[in-house]
Amino acid sequence: MDLPSDPPSLRTLLSVDLGDPFPVIALGALVVAVWYLASVARTRSEGRTWPWYRTASFLTGCAITAVVTGLQIDSYGYALFSVFVFQHLTLSMAVPPLLVLGSPGRLLLRATPHHGFGRYVLRAALIALRSPVGAALVHPVVTVPLFLFSYYGLYLTPLFDFFAVSRPGHVGMELFFLGSGILFILPILATGPVPGTHTNMGRFFELFVEMPLHVFFGLFLMMASTPLLTTFSSPPSSWNVNVMDDQQLAGGLAWSYGEPVAVFVIIVFAIRWRRDEAISNGVVDKRVDRVGDIDLEAYNAYLRELSQGSDRHR
């Protein structure tokens, strides 16, 4: 594809290039946003409520996706390491939490009619929810290797230069970043049912393992003394870009970009965990009020048996 002639700047990065091939991912984000708004309208027309913050979160995720894949920033991403890494981090770390917090799955179940074609959509959604394949896709055994591959397996092997030479390969990598990010964050932040069984301790382990991985990749880029990728080794001379400076900027982004996102995700997760504990404790308290503390009574009975046995041996 033809690269922009102007040097990269905030103005050129956020401009629209009408001569560029139509942005497929940006169009997809627009279509999904329209579906979401139509589903919210249908839900409310039936007298049911839908939180405004979920709508705002989901639409923000769609808008950010459209910006980083639909404006001229995407064109610069073909030749600048820093721009492509910014796209990567945005699609894999910033956008997925916003989309998942919008609860599109729950909205789908609420807004889809239970007759006609809608019946088949709901049946397919329930099959996916109960499918062992779906459970496997959001399991750490799959999400952790995907996260590792998206950084170390892609950038540090010839695979990146192989895919980056064509527009389908470039778009395919962007879709992979978005998809792997959604698979990672879905069991952690989803408010509705998720395939498989996930405990809060297991979710915390996933956060602990995966979140810091991009930091080490960023340090590796900043410490490298030669260009790592052929794709970004010769940007247009009119851009006046130093390749090593751009690579170090890419490393700095990989090192620092995800930290605010990680803090946000951890805060939301901690609030959810505390809420789940409060609900669980409330259920236990109600059961104790109704039938007594069975576990405590069993423990006391066990202590009495021990005491009686000790008295007999004396």
| Predicted confidence (pLDDT) per residue in 44-71, tens digit | 998 889 999 999 999 999 999 999 999 9
Can you give the pLDDT at residue 165?
A: 84
| Domain boundaries of the chain, sorted by first residue | 10-256
Pick from 180, 184, 179: which is nearest to 210 by CA?
A: 184
Residue 196 phi, psi dihedral angles, 5° rounding = 85, 180
**How many beta carbons lie within 10 A of that of residue 5, not counting itself?**
9
The pLDDT score that the predictor gives to residue 52 is 93
Compute the distance between CA of residue 7 and CA of residue 277 in angstroms, rounded to an integer. Answer: 53
Per-residue pLDDT, 199:
66
Helical H segments across the chain, by residue range: 10-13, 24-45, 52-70, 73-76, 81-89, 95-101, 104-111, 117-130, 132-137, 140-148, 154-155, 159-164, 167-189, 200-210, 213-223, 243-256, 258-291, 294-313
Mean pLDDT on 138-147: 83
Please report the pLDDT score of residue 284 as a whole number: 46
**Which DSSP category does 232 fall into?**
G
Q: State the average pLDDT over residues 177-184.
A: 91
Distance of alpha carbon 68 from alpha carbon 71, whole angstroms? 6
pTM: 0.81
Query: Is the separation of the CB atoms in 12 and 4 below 8 Å?
Result: yes
pLDDT in tens, 101-129: 998 988 888 888 877 777 888 788 778 77
Residue 295 banded pLDDT, cuts 50, 70, 90: low
The winner for highest mean pLDDT among 5-14, 136-145, 199-208, 275-284 is 5-14
